Amino acid sequence: MTVVSRPPLTSDERTQLTGWLDLQRSFVRMKCEGLSEAEAHRKMLPTSPLMTVAGLVAHMRWVEYSWFHLNVLGTPDTGQTPWTEDGHPDAEMFVDDVPLAQLLDEYDAECARSNAITASLSLDALEQGPSVREGGAASLRYVLCHMIEETARHVGHLDIIRELLDGQTGYTKPD
């Protein structure tokens, strides 16, 4: 995924929501450019050892899957997710043996599937999966806003980890 532009200033709501989400998603791959496997899997935060570049990419992939497939569409989990009933709550972040390129490709593919789901539904469509929140099912509009927030927050984490790894900051490509 290449870095995309911000959505047009006067575009419709759907274009704004999907545009801002796609922009944040594009920063994920950009923040990973030029990293070695060792750097991508390096544990920089002693209090959060699962929060590596690779772990965050894997987490974001499964968050996309969870929100759009499990929640919005209501697709039952048939065991393809990394979570189990008695397993670690952050099981998706145990990726020390998975190459960063594979994780990024899986993330991009999941984002494309999420975009296809989004394109097929009204912004007013309600989640079909079992609701775990007080207040019931959320609209697709809510999910898109949440995913903008979720993705931007984790892009910020990637930005900090990247700075700790090699000093690279901001939204510029590494030299």
Class of residue 59 by CB neighbours under 10 A (exposed 0-12, middle 13-18, buried 19+): buried
HEC per residue, 82-130: CCCCCCCCCHHHCCCCCCHHHHHHHHHHHHHHHHHHHHCCCCCCECCCC
pLDDT at 174: 45
What is each CA distance from 104 to 52, 140, 148, in whole angstroms?
14, 25, 18
Q: Note whether residue 3 is domain-resident.
A: no
In angstroms, the CA 89 to CA 108 distance is 23
**Residue 51: Cβ within 10 Å count:** 19
Q: Note whether residue 6 is domain-resident.
A: no
Q: Note whether residue 79 is domain-resident.
A: yes
Domain boundaries, position 43: 13-166
CA angle 13, 63, 174 (to 5 degrees): 85
pLDDT at 98: 96
pLDDT tens digits for range 108-129: 999 999 999 999 999 999 999 9
* 140 within 8 A of 128, measured Cβ to Cβ: no
Tally of domains in the chain: 1
Domain CATH code at residue 77: 1.20.120.450
The H-assigned helical ranges of the chain are 13-32, 37-41, 53-65, 100-119, 140-166
Q: Output the pTM of the full model.
A: 0.91
What is each CA distance from 63 to 5, 59, 143, 168, in whole angstroms?
23, 6, 11, 26
In angstroms, the CA 22 to CA 17 distance is 9
Q: Note whether residue 160 is domain-resident.
A: yes
pLDDT at 132: 67
Q: Note whether residue 132 is domain-resident.
A: yes
Residues of the chain with pLDDT under 70: 1-3, 131-132, 171-175
pLDDT at 159: 95
pLDDT at 6: 87
For residue 27, give both structure tokens. 């920063």
Q: Note whether residue 4 is domain-resident.
A: no
Q: Note whether residue 74 is domain-resident.
A: yes
Q: Note whether residue 7 is domain-resident.
A: no
